[in-house]
Amino acid sequence: MAFALRRPFALAGTLKQFAKPATPLRAFHSSPLQASSHRFTPPSSAFSGGVLSKSRHVFQNTFRQSTSRSYQSAPGQGFNSAGSGNITQRVLYGAGIFGATLIAINVMFNRETREDGGMPPFERSYLNETFMHTGLGIGIIGIAARAMHMNGWSYRLMAMNPWLVMGVGLAASIGTMIGCRATSPDNYVQKYALWGAFNVTQAALLAPLMFMQPALLARAGLYTIGMMGSIAFVGATAKQEKYLYLGGPLLAGVAIVALSGLAPLVVPATAARTLMVTENLWLYGGLVVFGGFTLYDVQKVLHHARLANAGYIKRDAVNESISLELDFINIFVRMVQILGMQQRRK
């Protein structure tokens, strides 16, 4: 349940980021016209040569201003021709980030590897099944969020009361998650129905992210996959139960991150430095916390695989995938916000 506490607040960050790009558009529609009306005041001899040269000069300046503003308001459109030629470079850049992250995390946290001769087949199959359900769930969330956005759900969601959205979203998210976890894996229909409802709930809350540029969302997804893939590799190859002790500290960390997300509700707007610290804590502290949860969840999957092989519990890859899905969503939302902040500074 603690994993879902940060989910509804992702909507507030999304709305905040979407609200800011409106200024360049307003400037595009108003500034050139104001400039032209201010400078285009012909005297009585309106058709003299000097007035025509002034008019031509005003028109050229207005065209330059509107062109520059159009590039500023749509930064992704100016790179269509250049970006198509740099796809291979970007793919290699992302692969380099993934490889460097993998090596760094493996050197720092995985110096003591398994001593039992490698991962047994039952652990490997259970981990692969969990990853398959995680990828399927994330795919359902992405497709459902895109469909809701195209049908106008994002606009209606933004027009609603944010407290109502937060309350209903939190109740639906936690309710479907608890119901899915409590259902026996033998009851396939109810299990997968609740799991699908949980994914659709997450998609409804994430639908406003579709207002962001597709290139930014793709980069955030690539970075999230690289980060989680590297950490999952470390968790899968580390010694048995080496990182299961992180459960308690990570719960404390997610509580601190949640409180930092609520800080704008109680901290006055004049305390800009305090609000900046809480925002950085929510962003970068959240990346650390949910990266740690990814490491913990992967080792928990292997621990449950050993218990299921011994007959103590039943294999339930759906329940295991829910935790990893929430880790992915929380990291992805923060990646989107960080990349959006970097893009606005340029």
Does the residue 13 lie in any domain? no
The whole domain housing 154 covers: 2-8+118-345
What DSSP assignment string belongs to 71-89?
Answer: HHH-TTGGGHHHHHHTHHH
Does the residue 81 lie in any domain? no
Does the residue 314 lie in any domain? yes
Does the residue 310 lie in any domain? yes
Does the residue 160 lie in any domain? yes
CB atoms within 10 A of CB 221: 16
The size of the chain, in residues, is 346
Each as own residue / partner, the long-range contacts of residues 185-192 (CB below 8 Å, 24 or more positions apart, any chain) are 185/314, 185/315, 185/316, 185/318, 185/319, 186/314, 191/318, 192/318
- The pLDDT > 90 percentage for the chain reads 37
pLDDT value at residue 54: 46
**pLDDT (tens digit, 9 = 90+) per residue, 122-179?**
999 999 999 999 999 999 999 999 999 999 888 888 788 777 877 888 899 999 999 9
Cβ–Cβ < 8 Å for 266, 296: no
- For residue 127 the two structure tokens come to 């981990």
- For residue 281 the two structure tokens come to 């804590």
Looking at the structure of the chain, the number of domains it has is: 1
Cβ–Cβ < 8 Å for 297, 327: yes
| pLDDT over 90 at 194, yes or no | yes
Does the residue 317 lie in any domain? yes
The rounded distance, in Å, linking the Cα atoms of 280 and 261 is 10
Q: How confident is residue 202, by pLDDT bands cut at 50, 70 and 90?
A: very high
- The region that residue 117 occupies, defined by phi over 0 for left and psi between -120 and 50 for alpha, beta otherwise, is left
**pLDDT (tens digit, 9 = 90+) per residue, 89-120?**
766 766 676 667 666 666 655 555 555 556 78
pTM: 0.68
Is residue 238 classed as helix, strand or coil in its secondary structure?
strand
Does the residue 70 lie in any domain? no
